[in-house]
Amino acid sequence: MQVPAHFGYDRATSIDHALRLLARHGDQARVIAGGHSLIPMMKLRLAEPEALIDINGIDELRGITVSGDELLIGALTRHADLLSSAVVGEHFPVLHDAERVIADPVVRNFGTVGGSLCQADPSEDLSAAFVALGATGVIRGAAGSRTVPLREFHLGPYETAVAPDELLVEVRVPIRPGGSSAYTKVERRAGDWAVAAAGAAVWLGPDGAITDAGIGLAAVGAEHFTAPEAEEFLRGRAGDDAALVEAGKIAAQHCDPQADQRGPADYKRHLAGELTTRALRRAVARASGQEA
Amino acid sequence: MTTIEERPAGDGAHGFGRIHRKEDPRFIRGQGNFVDDVQLPGMLHGAILRSPFAHARIVSIDTSAAEAHPRVRAVITGATLETLSLAWMPTLSNDVQAVLATDKVRYQGQEVAFVVADDRYAARDALELIDVDYEPLDPVVDARTAMDEGAPVVRDDIEGKTDNHIFDWEAGDRAATDAVFTEADVVVTEDMLYPRVHPAPMETCGTVASMDKVTGKLTVWSTTQAPHAHRTLYALVAGLPEHQIRIISPDIGGGFGNKVGIYPGYVLAVVGSIVTGKPVKWVEDRSENLMSTSFARDYHMRGEIAATRDGKILGVRVRVLADHGAFNGTAQPTKFPAGFFHVFTGSYDLQAAHCEVTGVYTNKAPGGVAYACSFRITEAVYLIERMVDVLAYELEMDQAELRMKNLLRPEQFPYTCATGWEYDSGDYPATLSLAMDMAGYQELREEQRAKRERGELMGIGISFFTEAVGAGPRKHMDILGLGMADGAELRIHPTGKAVLRLSVQTQGQGHETTFAQIVAQELGIPTADVEVVHGDTDQTPFGLGTYGSRSTPVSGAAAAMVTRKVRDRAKIVAAAMLEVDPSDLEWGHGTWGVRGDPKNAKTIAEIAMAAHSNLELPEGVEGHLDATCVYNPPNLTFPFGAYICVVDVDPATGEVDVRRFIAVDDCGVRINPMIVEGQVHGGLAEGIGMALMQGIAFDEDGNCLGASFMDYLVPTALECPSWELGETVTPSPHHPFGAKGIGESATVGSPAAVVNAVMDALKPLGVRHADMPLTPAQVWRAAQGRPLRTDLAIS
C-alpha cells in the first residue's frame, strides 16, 4: 500500500471559509475536491502538501443551471452529474461525448469539473471541450470575483490562472443558437488518458455556411488546448467535407505533440488532424439536424 | 490406472458437474483472509528502499537519520545481511540474487535497504531519511546489444564474468532440420518479439513473518503458490531447521506465476522478525509489484518455416534471444533453461524442428515466470501460430485451410513430436471444425471480402494451440532438485465425512470445490461432505505447488488415487460387515454391495463407522479408512484448443475492436465445467491484454516505463467481447480420470489469435507482422510499414 506523507486537513464550509483557509496556509495547501489526481500523487509522494482544504461540503459550488444565455456549471459538479444532465446534452453534446470517455464510472462519480480544469493535465478532456465552446472560468479571491476565458486559463502543464489564494468557483458556457458540437478521442484502453483527442463546436448560418467554429485539442501540445488557425480557416466557409479535412490538417500542423508510450509524435500529429476532422463532421451533422 | 470410467454428467453435488464454488460465500461477503488481513499482537511494518537507477555502484549508505526516527525499530542494509550470510539468495534457476544490494544496483527498483517501524507510515517516512550515494553506470537496456563487445557487464559479482551471457541451449535435430530447409520449395522468415509482460495479480506480494524466540518456530504467512517448496528453500538458505518452519499461504488474490518464487521482501520480513523479536509485515505496493517482481516472456525470436508450394509444412527453425534481466530467476524445471519452449512444433505434423536459445543479462528486473503459461509455452504457441499465418500470407492460402492440411490426425496419437514431446491424445481437426462452425467461418470470409472492397479493415485470426501441462515426471522434472510429484492425504471421519489434504494452493482456481468434487465422484459421497485443506505446510503433505496448470493433472490425480485407496480399504471393511469375501463385492456409486444382491450393501458412511468400531477386521487391517499417496505423473497432459478472433480496425486511427472471440477448448474430462469456463474467460481477457495493450518497455537509462496501472494496462470489460465458448472432450489416457488441466490454455492460445486477426485485417496494406502490444499507435505505424520496437521507449 502506498501511503502519503503527513498532511493537515481542513474542511471548508463556504467559499469564503475556503478562501480564508487558503490565505492562512499559503502555497503549501492544496484544495481537494474529487481527489482522483491529487490523492494518487500524494500516495506516490509526487505531491506533499502541508494541508488539504476539502471543499466537498460547499453546496454553493455545486449545480448546473441556465441563466440568460449562459449555462452555469459549479466547480464542484461531478463528472457524472454533467453526464446525466439533460440541459447539458441539449446545448452542448461535446460535453456528454467527452464525459463518456473520461476515466471510468467510479472516477466520474466523484471527480469534479473544477478539479479537472485546475489539475491542468495536458491530456485532460474537459479542458479541450470547454475551450471549443468558448467557456469562461469564474475565479474567486479575497478581493472578489474575476472571469478568465478558458482559452487563457491554462498557462502550461499543471499550471493555471488560479492563484494559490484563489478558487475556481464556476464555469460559464455561452448558449448561442444555430450550433452544435462533438468530441472524439483515441485511447489505448477505456479509461486511459487520451493518446489524442479533439473537441469541435460549429455554428451554421441559414445557408449552412460556418459562421463560427471552436476547436479544442488534448494531449497533442496545443497551446491553451486550442487550434485558432483551423478555427479561422473555417469561419465563413461552407461546411463541406473538404473544408473539414483541411481544417484538420491545419490543426495538426500547429500543435506540438511529444512522443511517449501512448505513441510517437508523428502518429499523435496525424491523430490531431483526423480527430479534428471527425469532431467537426459530427458537430456539423448535429448542427444541421442530420445526427443526434 | 489407465481405465477411463464412463461417468454420467452430474449436478456437481455428488461428483463432477456444475456447482457454485465453496470459496465464493467468503469472498462475496468480504470475509477472505489474505496476507494483508493478518494482524498479530505487536506486529511491526516493513518498507523497502529501492534503487532509482538501473545500474549504479553503491558508494555509501547512511542510515543514521532513519535509525533516529522515533518509531523506527530497525534499518537493515546489505552490509547487515552480509554478517548473516544472507545478502544473496539462490534463484529458481541456480543463479544468485541480491536480497539487498551490496556492491551495486542492477535494475531500477532493486532492493537497497529495509526499514522496520511501528506502522506503515513511519516505515515509509524513514525511507526518505536514508542517504545512498550512487555512482551511476551505463546500463544494458537493449537485449540485442547485451552481447556486444564492450557492453557493460551486469554481473561482475560472478567471478571471472566478462560478458552478459547466461546460457546457450538447443533442442531438436539441427542437421535434419537444415536438410528439410534445403529441400523445401518455400522458406519464410519472420522476426518477432514477445514483449516483457507482468502477471499483475490483483493482490500484490507480501509476507508476515513471526519468529517465536522461545520455541524457535518460524511462522510465515506469505503470498506463495508453492508453500512446501518455499519451506524447504528457507531451510536450505537460512539454515533454519525445516520442521520448525511453517509456511501458510492464506487466501491468495491471483498468482499467474507471480507468486512462485521467493522475493527479497519475503526474506527481509523474516530477517526483520528475527532482528526485532516481533512479527513483521511487509506488503508491497502496486508499483513495487510491477517494477521488481517476476516478469514474463521477453523473448526476441527469429522463426523460419519450411513448406511445400501446396502448403505442407515440413519444418520449423527458431533462434531466440532471451532477456532474463539482472539475475537469472526464471522458474522452470532444472533441465530446461528455456522451459518447455521446444514444444513450438505446435499442433502440426513436422518432419524436423530445431531451436537455439541464448539467455542474456540486462539491467532489468529478474524473473521469467510463467505468466499463466506452462513454462514458455505461450512464447512457443505464439511463434508457431504466427509463423503459420506468415506462411499462409506468402502462399496466399486461407489460414484455416493451411492449418487443416497440417494438423496432427487423431490416429497419430500418442504422437512424438520432432523435439521429443509425447502428445497424449487429441482430435485436432474436429476441434478446429467446431470452432469454424461456431464462428460461421465462410460467412465471415465473405463479409471480409465485401468490406475490403469498400476499404474497410476486418480481420479473422485463428490460433490452434497445444499445451503441455502437469509437470511433471520426477525423472525428468525438478525445481532446485525437488521432484515434481505431489502428495495427498484423505481422512474419513467415523460419520463418513472426509478431509482431503493437498500440497497445491489455490489462488482463485477453486480448488476447494474441484478437489471436493473429485473425492465425491470417486467415493460416492456428497461434495459438501468433503473439506479441502491446503496452503499450510503444517497441515498438508509435500508437493511442488500450483503453476503451469499442474494442480488437476498432478494433485487432482493424487486426490483420485488416494480416494481409490480409501475405497479399496472400505471394500475390506464392507466384506467383514457383510461376512462375505471381498471378491464377492461390487462398487455402486457410494456403496459396496454383494454382487447380484443389491439390497445387501453398505454405504461409505456405514463402512466408516464400522472401520472405527469394534468390528473384527481381517488380519492385517488395522482399522480406519485413512490413506495417503504420492502421485508421480507418467507424462505431461496435452490440452489443446482452437480459437478464432474477429476484429475491426479503424485504418485512420489504428484502433482495434475485438468484435467476437470463439474459443473451443479440449482439456479432457471436465470436473466442474463452470470453473473451467471461468478460467477460460480470464485467460482470454489476459490474451487481449497482451496482444493489444500490455508491455513493459525501458528507456535508454533503464527506467521502467510500466510501473503503474496508468502505464501498464489491464483490459476491462469494454475491451472484451462476449466470449463464445465450445468444448470437445478427449480424455488423457494416462490420467486417473482423464483430465488435462485448463488454467493457462486461454492465456497461451489467445494472444496469437488476436494478433493474427489484426494482421489479417492489415493484409490489404501489405502488412505481414508487427510486434505486440498492438496499440493504436503500433497498428497505425505497421500500416505504414514502420512498426515500432515495443521493448524500448517510443521516440
CB contact under 8 A, B775 and A186: no
CB contact under 8 A, A188 and B718: no
Closest A-chain CA to B654 = A186
A46 part of contact set with chain B, CB < 8 Å: no
What distance in Å separates the CA atoms of residue A114 and residue A162, rounded to the nearest whole number?
11
CB contact under 8 A, A261 and B793: yes
CB contact under 8 A, A189 and B693: yes
pLDDT band at A26 (very low <50, low <70, confident <90, very high): confident
Q: Which of A119, A261, A262, A276 to mutate to test the interface with B (most CBs of B within 10 A)?
A: A261
B655 part of contact set with chain A, CB < 8 Å: yes
Q: Which chain A residues are within 8 Å of B710, Cβ to Cβ?
A: 192-193
Q: What is the distance in angstroms between the Cα of A193 and the nearest Cα belonging to chain B?
A: 8
What distance in Å separates the CA atoms of residue B297 and residue B370, rounded to the nearest whole number?
8
CB contact under 8 A, B121 and A6: yes
Residue B390's contacts (CB-CB under 8 Å, 6 or more residues apart) are B188, B190, B303, B305, B768, B769
Q: Which residues of B451-470 are buried (b: 16+ CB within 10 A; e: fewer)?
A: eeeeebbbbbbbbbbbbbbb
Closest CA to B753 of B441, B440, B462: B462
Closest A-chain CA to B203 = A1
Q: Give B478's strand partners.
A: B483
Q: Which chain A residues are within 8 Å of B698, Cβ to Cβ?
A: none
Q: Which of B118, B124, B196, B712 to mutate to test the interface with A (most CBs of A within 10 A)?
A: B124
Query: What does the pLDDT look like over B334-356, one tens digit per residue?
Result: 889 999 999 999 999 999 999 99
Cell of A47: 505531491
Model pTM? 0.97
One-letter amino acid at A221 equals: G
Closest A-chain CA to B125 = A5
| Spatial contact of B667 and B732, defined as CB atoms under 8 Å apart | no
CB contact under 8 A, A188 and B719: no
Closest B-chain CA to A191 = B716
Q: Mapping DSSP to helix (H, G, I), strand (E, B) and coil, where does residue B609 land? A: helix
C-alpha distances (whole Å) from B464 to each of A85, B663, B746 are 49, 10, 11
Neighbours of A157 (CB within 10 A): 10
Closest B-chain CA to A261 = B794
Facing residue for A1 by CB, picked from B285, B719, B795: B285
| Spatial contact of A92 and A287, defined as CB atoms under 8 Å apart | no
Length in residues, chain B: 795
Closest B-chain CA to A193 = B710
| Helix/strand/coil (H/E/C) assignment for every residue in chain A | CCCCCCCEEEECCCHHHHHHHHHHHHHHEEEECCCCCHHHHHHCCCCCCCEEEECCCCHHHCCEEEECCEEEEECCCEHHHHHHCHHHHHHCHHHHHHHHCCCCHHHHHHCEHHHHHHHCCCCCHHHHHHHHHCCEEEEEECCEEEEEEHHHCEEECCEECCCCCCEEEEEEEECCCCEEEEEEEECCCCCCCCCEEEEEEEEECCCCEEEEEEEEEECCCCHHHECHHHHHHHCCCECCHHHHHHHHHHHHHHCCCCCECCECHHHHHHHHHHHHHHHHHHHHHHHCCCCC
C-alpha distances (whole Å) from A182 to each of A68, A199, A285, A291 are 23, 6, 10, 11
* DSSP structural state of residue B556: I
What distance in Å separates the CA atoms of residue A40 and residue A23, rounded to the nearest whole number?
25
CB contact under 8 A, A264 and B781: yes
Cell of B758: 489484426
Q: What is the distance in angstroms between the Cα of B224 and the nearest Cα belonging to chain A?
A: 19
CB contact under 8 A, B653 and A186: yes
CB contact under 8 A, A2 and B286: yes
Residue B449's contacts (CB-CB under 8 Å, 6 or more residues apart) are none
Q: Which chain B residues are within 8 Å of A2, Cβ to Cβ?
A: 285-287
B781 part of contact set with chain A, CB < 8 Å: yes
Q: Which residue has the higher pLDDT, B1 or A103?
A: A103
What distance in Å separates the CA atoms of residue A159 and residue B391, rounded to the nearest whole number?
54
Interface of A with B in 240-269 (CB under 8 A): 259-264, 267
- What per-residue confidence (pLDDT) applies to B194? 97
| Spatial contact of B752 and B690, defined as CB atoms under 8 Å apart | no
What distance in Å separates the CA atoms of residue A59 and residue B683, rounded to the nearest whole number?
46
Angle between helices B377-395 and B399-406 (to 10 degrees): 120
Q: Which chain A residues are within 8 Å of B124, Cβ to Cβ?
A: 3
Q: What is the distance in angstroms between the Cα of A194 and the nearest Cα belonging to chain B?
A: 11
At residue A280, φ and ψ (nearest 5 deg) are -65, -45
Q: Which chain A residues are within 8 Å of B697, Cβ to Cβ?
A: 261
Residue A292 pLDDT > 80? no
Angle between helices A265-287 and A93-100 (to 10 degrees): 140
- What per-residue confidence (pLDDT) applies to B367? 83
CB contact under 8 A, B794 and A271: no
∠ at Cα B9 (B3, B13), nearest 5°?
105
B763 part of contact set with chain A, CB < 8 Å: no
Q: How many CB pairs under 8 A join A and B?
A: 74
A101 part of contact set with chain B, CB < 8 Å: no
B697 part of contact set with chain A, CB < 8 Å: yes
A197 burial (CB, 10 Å; 0-12 / 13-18 / 19+) is: buried
Question: Kind and range of the H or E element at B231?
Answer: helix B227-238
Report residues of chain B scoring pLDDT below 50. 1-8
Closest B-chain CA to A190 = B718
Closest CA to B363 of B633, B139, B644, B617: B139
B789 part of contact set with chain A, CB < 8 Å: no
Strand A179-186: give its sheet, edge to edge: A179-186, A196-204, A210-218
Q: What is the distance in angstroms between the Cα of B41 and the nearest Cα belonging to chain A?
A: 20
CB contact under 8 A, B287 and A44: yes
* DSSP structural state of residue B552: I
Query: What does the pLDDT look like over B99-156, one tens digit per residue?
Result: 999 999 999 999 999 999 999 999 999 999 999 999 999 999 999 999 999 999 999 9
- What per-residue confidence (pLDDT) applies to B8? 46
Cell of B85: 550470510
CB contact under 8 A, B715 and A189: yes
What distance in Å separates the CA atoms of residue B502 and residue B554, rounded to the nearest whole number?
11
One-character DSSP codes across B770-782? -PSP--HHHHHHH
Facing residue for A261 by CB, picked from B121, B653, B705: B705
- What per-residue confidence (pLDDT) applies to B11? 84
- What per-residue confidence (pLDDT) applies to B621? 79
Closest CA to A5 of A58, A44, A55, A61: A44
Q: Which of A39, A106, A267 to mutate to test the interface with B (most CBs of B within 10 A)?
A: A267
Closest B-chain CA to A265 = B795
Neighbours of B733 (CB within 10 A): 17
Closest B-chain CA to A274 = B652
One-letter amino acid at B349 equals: D
Cell of A185: 478521442
Q: What is the distance in angstroms between the Cα of A39 and the nearest Cα belonging to chain B?
A: 14
- What per-residue confidence (pLDDT) applies to B237? 87
Q: What is the distance in angstroms between the Cα of A51 and the nearest Cα belonging to chain B?
A: 17
CB contact under 8 A, B794 and A188: no
Q: Which chain A residues are within 8 Å of B711, Cβ to Cβ?
A: 261
Q: What is the distance in angstroms between the Cα of A48 and the nearest Cα belonging to chain B?
A: 12
Helix then strand count (H, E) for chain B reads 18, 32
Residue B376's contacts (CB-CB under 8 Å, 6 or more residues apart) are B299, B332, B338, B339, B340, B341, B370
Strand A64-67: give its sheet, edge to edge: A64-67, A70-74, A167-174, A136-141, A144-149
CB contact under 8 A, B693 and A188: yes
CB contact under 8 A, B780 and A270: yes
CB contact under 8 A, A190 and B653: no
Q: Which chain A residues are within 8 Å of B287, Cβ to Cβ?
A: 2, 44
